[in-house]
Structure 1
């Protein structure tokens, strides 16, 4: 049986990805529309500069889109149901300092009035937590804390 908090954290991360993807796709569609209307204009150098700026923005958005799609693929590998005595991908980790969800980097998430930080296993904190067990002490940025619980 899955933990309700873990399900909520998982859903929040999925929503984070979906919203980010939707925003980028919307901006790409707007740029495409701007490029089309820019093509109908014939104002010489100004026209070419406008097209170049739109193209640069499209390239930037294309990179962001690729990043989000990669994030989506990585998130598909995060198990919703897992049980381990050690911190693994998909774990909810309670420490004496903060609480973490090991999945993707999606920032702060509040579930049942508790603050969690959604982090990826390859982030500095994720690397420190991965493989650790309940009771282990951890030091990060000069602060020492202890793992209280792993779900």
Structure 2
């Protein structure tokens, strides 16, 4: 949630900064330069609006996960411990480390999550020609 909240803040700040830059340039420019700057700032606002929308969608998707629910198969909201690493199936985000344990934070739509989907502890799945042994699922 911290990661997504930071993405939301960054996008919101980007929109504010672009609007301020366009306003400031309007006061001091005329002609083609004004139009070019205004177009660039509109592009920047649009880009940040898309980023903001995507971050809000991620936040909503993450809010649907019940962290106290015990998962018995690899699915959205589960922690999957494997012989190649640990995965939190939720949303696509940067890897994180908790108490010295590293986790890949992946979307349920990612290829590796799809390969593990509905498998349980001690199952072996094949992903990109590699065997992945599922040690445990929480």
Q: Distance in 2 between matches of 1:22 and 1:61?
A: 10
Q: Higher relative contact order by CA 8 Å / sep ≥ 6: 1 or 2?
A: 1
**1:142 Cα shift?**
2.2
Structure 2 counterpart of 1:77: 64
Choose from 22, 25, 38 the match for 2:12: 25
Of 28, 31, 55, 1:41 maps to: 28
Matches within 5 A, 1:91-102: 91-102=78-89
Q: SS state of the match for residue 102, structure 2?
A: strand
SS at 1:82 equivalent: coil
Greater than 2 Å deviation, 4+ residue runs? none
Matches of 2:72 and 2:41, distance apart in 1: 51
TM-score normalised over the length of structure 1: 0.86
Equivalent pairs, count: 138
Aligned-residue CA RMSD (Å): 1.1
Give the unaligned 5+ runs of structure 2: none
TM-score when normalising by structure 2: 0.94
In structure 2, distance between residues paired with 1:93 and 1:16: 20
**Counterpart secondary structure, 2:95:** strand
